[in-house]
Each structure stands twice: as structure tokens, then as C-alpha cells.
A and B are shown apart, each in its own frame.
Chain A
């Protein structure tokens, strides 16, 4: 789509006024579907599957959801118990994305991920820790697979279904 002159002028003016978007974590991020399923036994007993983050960033603040799937990223393959958790106190600062979430049973965990690039995709690499900062998982890698549009199309902005 060719932007109209007014849009171009508007963008120029916005840029001139100092509003520009820097690196962000907006969008959909997933652990690789081809690799061995991630083991998160310490977090979700018996869980062995795949993770997906749907994130929206506003300034440094980040909101979103963490979803768990078994073999494929589709509704029919969602983890049976507690398939979804809300990203809370999400922040993206200094290229590091941190957030906390509450798992089944009320346990709270903290995710610390650094944004990087594996050559093909943007990635988030890090671990999930307990509240004391003890790592509970091996290093996890999320790769960006989509943006805001995908969140809207797949309605990943609906939140976690109420029990």
C-alpha cells in the first residue's frame, strides 16, 4: 500500500517530535516446534511440550499471555491443565525481558530472557526462575513468529479462559 502524502507528513512530524519506536518484544514468540519438547516439570508437573508468548509492549511495559501446548501450536493441542498464564509485571529494558506469572497451584515464577538474533529470527533466550532467582529450567529459546497482526488474527489478546 502506498502511503498518502498526509500519512507521510504525519509520520515525518511524529519523527521530528521525537517519537520513534525502538527494539521491542511485540508479537508472538514460540519455542521451536521441531526440536525436542521442553521439559518444565519443575513448573508444571508432567509437562513436556511447547511454549508460546503473545506479548504487547507499551513503552517498557509488557502485557500478554504464556500458553502451553503439547505437540503443535493449536487450540486442540493445548496443555490439559493450566494451559495459559498471564504475563505480569512484564518489562523490556536494556534488551532484557522480565516478567512473572502464576502457575497452577498459585506458584509464582519469573522469566528472564535476553533478546537476540539467531541469524534468521529474533530470539528470546533465558530461563524461568523461582521467586528467589533459582533457575528451574534449562535455557529456553523463543523465536519470533508473528507480530501484533497475528495476535489479533488468532485472538491471542483474549486472555486466558476463565475456569
Chain B
């Protein structure tokens, strides 16, 4: 009868296991947090630099809005509204303090410049820029920062350092492409330098996209941005081109750089932008999201070394056994599985040597498992039904029955038959409760540990004196 029970339960678990398909998890990726900066419009001709009229409004605003929309629609991408970002940036703790310091330095530099103390003026302008750079002022008030660079360029011109003045003018032109200079306000050489810087800024679109990558990366780290997309609208030989560049924080480099020539109607331009965004999105390396443990695995197999102690035992001291446990589990639901365990154990010598022969046993446990899991761990409890087959063994508390060799004169003389208690092969039935943990060190492999206790109800006559085995297990396994 018990052997039929074991066979039936084993077959049942195998049939159940085979009838469910293997779980196939689809790949998931983490959202990338992208800041899309407004399109910088470098389309205005430098011939109009000294024009009294402001430059006409182009398509930049509309195209910028469309670009932002397209990036937002891209899969696994989360964009931040530039206006919201700008107000957050301006509202940050150190912003006001640094702004005041930067502005004060600028006003002081202006005073010094008026007093023809150019060297001191330059020094204060550079300090002002340093303060303002710390708060990424160019993203909040680029036009105001352009003014500072303009004065820096003029000061350097007057100090006779034309090359450095050129860089400052170029930066001013880049920060504020709509900059207009009143003709005659500055001396002729300054006007000439401004014109050259303007032309230069219009030509070197790609190279000025991320001037200081380290600073940009620091900025991204501070604001937990994964990428910054910058776009520059410019004109090349009467053709309008849009430069797109993406700086990626993880790879610490510009991961995407493309210049597209915009032509045709607004719809056609938008289509071109849409395709460019699609190309960027397709080529972007993304961090995959590891599915939760319970979503990853359906089958679990493990083997463990087991140490067991019977709390109720037929010897004078506690009876320990050692052996191996083999476990298989099949997840029917995320946190619910069917588990079957097969365990083989052999007794260790007891303290008084009362076990005259080692006890070997085999037990089968079948039950549901309820689990909770994290990214790399799983805890479970298995209340199960147990069938335990104990091999034949004998015990005695008489030292003479232990010392003398069986069938020897000494054994016959000193160990009368009644001093030895013999136990035939016995089947015990009861319940087992197991608490366990699995620690995954790779996607599929894990180390495991478990603690369990059983109680036996059968045989009902309590003819066997062994009960309440407590077991600890340590091992490992595979899940898939």
C-alpha cells in the first residue's frame, strides 16, 4: 500500500509538471530619462549682426516642439519638459546664492571696465562665469550669459589678446544666436572680431555641441539624466540643416550624432526629424530590466546536504542522521508551486552507542510551496505530506551488547536476547513543514538553505518511538 502511494504521488507530480509550458519572459528595458534642449537656431546670417531689426522668427520653435514630442513617443524613453526643468534648476538651493555672486562680479567687472581697469575687469568676468557655470546658467538664461562673454571678448580685445577674445565672442554668439550689436557702439576692430566670431560659430556647429563633456556629465549625474539631446538648426550653402547630438551618461560619450538636411514643407521636415529620432532610438543601447524572480522561473531543482535530529528517539541520547535531499518544484502561479522532495539519510553514531546498527531511511515529501522573492532571493514555506520509510535497526543500552562481537562467547554470556530491541522496516506517515531560502548568484543558479520539522501520525498504535525529526539543509540548485 505505501509503495503504491509513493508511486502514485510521483507519477502525479511528473504529469502535472509536464503539462505546463515553460514560461517565456519578454525582454523589458529601463526607461531612459532624456532632456531635450531647445533647438539652437544658428540660421541667421552674420551679415545681419549689426542690423537694427531683430532676426525673424523661424521654424525652430515648432520643430523643437515636434522633436520633443517624437522623443517622448520613443519606446523606453522618458523626457523632461524643458520649461519645467528650467524652473526646477532655477529653484534649486544653491542657485540664487551663486546667481547673486555671479551677477555681482559681472556688475563689478562692468564698473572696472568703465574705469579702464581691463585686467581686473577680465578677472571678475571670469569669476562671474565660474559662479554661473556652477548653476548651469546657460540653460536658464543663455542670453544673459552671452552678455558676459561679450564683455569678456571686448575686454580681451582691449588687452590685445585677440585669439582669446575670439573664443569669448564665439561663445556669446552660440549662447545667443539672435544677438544684435548696435553698429558703431564698439570700435571697428571689435566689430570685425564679432563678425568673424559669428561666422565661425555658424560654421563649427558639430564641434561646439558639447564643449565640456565632463561638466555636462556632472550635470547629468546631478539631475539623474541618462541622456541630453541637443539640436542646432543652421544653414549651409542655402540649405537648412539640423544637427542632432546625444550625450549618454553611461557611456560618457556622444552616442549619436547626425546632421540632416531639412527640405520641403513643414510636414516633410517633421517626417525627417521623426525618422532621425527613430534611428537614434533604434541604435540606443538600453539597460534591460531583469524580470522579477517569480516571473523568471517555472522549474526548480536542487540538491542539499541534510543534517537531521529526531526529537523523539529510541536511544538514550538524541539521534542524528545525515544525508542528502533532492527537491523539485514547479511553479503553478507566481508565488505558488508544487514541491516534491526525496531524502536519503543514515544515522550517525549516538553518544552512548545505543544504535547497534545504522538506521538508513528514505522519505518523500509532497506539498504546495508559498514564496516571496526579491531580485536575488526567494523565501518559501512548504507544508507537505510525508511518507518516511525507516530501515530495520536495533538498539540496546547494555554496554555488553555493544562491546562484544556478535556470536562471540562474550556476547552470548553477557548480552541476553532481551537486552536488544529490534525494529523492523517501518513506514511512517505525517506532515512536514519546511522553511527555506534560495540565494541566486546567477540568473539560474542558487544556493539554498532550509529548516524543516515533521510529525508522524501513522502508524496509529505509536509502535515506533521515533518522531519529530528536525532537519537543516544546505545546498544549491538550478531554476529555469
Contacts and interface: CB of A to CB of B under 8 A. Distances in A.
B180 interface: no
B408 interface: yes
Nearest to B348: A14
Contact of B399 (A6, A9, A56, A155): A56
B414 A63 contact: yes
A140 B393 CA distance: 41
Interface in A1-35: 6, 9-10, 13-14, 17-19
Contacts of A157: 403-405, 408, 410
Nearest to B318: A17
Interface size class of B (residues with CB under 8 A): 20 to 34
Dominant SS among interface residues on chain A: mixed
B476 to A, nearest CB: 13
B409 A161 contact: yes
A56 B316 CA distance: 17
A19 B320 CA distance: 10
Interface string B348-381: 1011111000000000000000000000000000
Contact of A63 (B307, B320, B403): B403
Contact of A9 (B305, B350, B397, B411): B305
A75 to B, nearest CB: 15
B402 interface: yes
A158 interface: yes
B352 A158 contact: no
B413 A86 contact: yes
Nearest to A163: B409
Contacts of A64: 403
A57 B349 CA distance: 13
Nearest to A7: B322
B200 interface: no
A63 to B, nearest CB: 4
Contacts of B472: 13
A57 B402 CA distance: 9
B309 interface: yes
Contacts of B397: 61
A159 B410 contact: yes
A159 B322 contact: no
B51 interface: no
Interface string B397-428: 11110111100111111100000000000000
Contacts of B320: 13-14, 17, 19
Contacts of A13: 307, 320, 322, 472
B317 interface: yes
A161 to B, nearest CB: 6
Interface in A43-78: 55-59, 61-65
A63 B399 contact: yes
Nearest to B408: A158
Closest 4 CB pairs of A and B: A159-B410, A56-B403, A63-B403, A63-B399
Given A6-B322, A13-B307, 11 more contacts: A19-B318, A19-B348, A55-B403, A59-B316, A61-B352, A63-B399, A63-B404, A63-B414, A86-B414, A155-B405, A158-B404
25 contacts: A13-B307, A13-B472, A17-B307, A17-B309, A17-B318, A17-B320, A18-B318, A19-B317, A19-B348, A55-B403, A56-B399, A58-B352, A58-B399, A58-B402, A58-B403, A59-B353, A61-B397, A61-B398, A63-B402, A86-B414, A88-B414, A157-B408, A158-B410, A159-B412, A162-B412
Interface of B: 305, 307, 309, 316-318, 320, 322, 348, 350-354, 397-400, 402-405, 408-414, 472
Interface of A: 6, 9-10, 13-14, 17-19, 55-59, 61-65, 86, 88, 90, 155, 157-162
